Amino acid sequence: MNTAEIISCEPATGAEIWRGKACDVDDIVARARRAWPAWAAQPLSTRMELVRRFANEVRKESEKLATTIARETGKPMWEARAEVEQVVNKVEISIRAYAERTSQRKLDSALQGTMAVRHKPHGVLLVLGPYNYPAHLPNSHIVPALIAGNVVIFKPSEKAPASGELLARCFNRAGISAAVMQFAPGGPAEGQAFVAHDGIDGVLFTGSANTGITINRKLATRPDKLVALEMGGNNAMVVWDTPKLTDAAALIVQSAFATSGQRCTATRRLILKSTMYDAVIAEVKALADRIIVGAPFDEPAPFMGPVIDNAAADGLTESFLYLLSHGGRAIKHLVRLRQSLPFLSPAIIDTTAMKDRPDVELFGPILQVIRVEDFDEAIAEANNTRFGLAASLIGGTPQEYNKFWANARAGIVNWNRATVNPSHAAPVGGIGLSGNHRPTGYYAADYCAYPVASGEMEQPRAVIGVGLK
């Protein structure tokens, strides 16, 4: 019996929002394995209907779920409502994706019979969710997995169990049983036990590169287990020739500081053409100075809430000081707005002069600026990272964008668009330390079922034509 306790507190107030016991890993897995055959045997149309009912349950609970997300993550209420809307929208996207990406195919031949391609579910899939989007991002794995006929064990981040529990209840109230879609609260110990458990057929993970690498290493000798890793990024935005400075500044600020910089697709590095530098920085700083940082339900509504906890705020403060002391020049200082709570101001720092810029994902509102002289240098700087999630070009000609697209090493490459808010009607994923070539979004269907090729004839028919006495 597991007696470890999980406690979640509101970043904006420090108040406790959720408390519960960590799950019993063996019991959860055994329950899932018992439930899988009956769920996989359900007609696809039934599973699709049930996830549509789930969408309706989320609609009914939308305000409660948004409020819980806002309280537990600290994100503004307007943003939490947008996350709930993404949860609902994911259902129809996933149904379309499954039909397109895993469609049945048959090739008939009079003499050779039929060659058929159909898809099967893997079995019991573990979904490990992050805290920054505690409903939308795990849901992006869960819905495609259920449609394909897998059962799901959902372990939310220990920093966001309240949101995860409410999401799971919506599935269960829709008629997807608590054995088919299980809520499994726990901390790192439970996560590690699930990953290593023989009863788990696959791990669908969204989170940091360090944790993803640990999972990959743990399962290095288990090629039989599916592993889909959606990790972070040290994402670049290149700003080139454009007269639209106000629009460019808005895209930069949205990309760098939405969700207090706690998005895997957030712009971490702003790469500026030297001749554009002063004008762009003036616009960006003026806009960043206007950003309201506050609690989720404040009026007027804040653009940024706190980061997830004081440990994260302390780490970001130390990182900013490191950049400053190793050649960085502050354009806008990182300020701890309340000493006992994790509210940070948006920060901008020029790191052009740093000899060795750390290639890490600073998961918060810190934007590094790098000045370059020509377009080839800009592309090289954008690629100067082990990550490869998102990259964006603001300005430039169609020819320059074509060159940028062809040479940028990232799974999401945009033109005159933010790096954040990728469409889940398209693949969402990256290369390098950003993922393992298992993009989610529209392509989640690819890793939730495996193709089975079948040569089929109604009667056996064969002869051996050579090599016989």
Please list the active-site residues.
Answer: 230, 264
Does residue 146 contact residue 180 with C-beta atoms inside 8 Å?
yes
Please count the residues of the chain. Answer: 469
Does residue 304 contact residue 270 with C-beta atoms inside 8 Å?
no
Q: What are the backbone dihedrals phi and psi of residue 261, each rounded to the nearest 5 degrees, phi first?
A: 75, 5
First to last CA, the chain: 68
Task: Write the DSSP assignment of 22-88 as a string of letters.
Answer: PP-HHHHHHHHHHHHHHHHHS-HHHHHHHHHHHHHHHHHTHHHHHHHHHHHH---HHHHHHHHHHHH
DSSP 8-state assignment for residue 147: H
Please, which residues have CB within 8 angstroms of residue 121's CB and are 6 or more apart in sequence?
A: 36, 40, 145, 148, 149, 150, 448, 449
Q: What is the largest CA-CA distance in the chain?
A: 92
Query: Token pair for residue 316?
Result: 């970001």
Distance CA 435, CA 117 (A): 28
Does residue 274 contact residue 350 with C-beta atoms inside 8 Å?
no
- Residues 116-148 as b/e (b if ≥16 CB within 10 A, e otherwise) read eeebebbbbbbbbbbbbbbbbbbbbbbbbbbbb
* Amino acid in position 416: N
Pairing of strands 387-388, 431-432: antiparallel
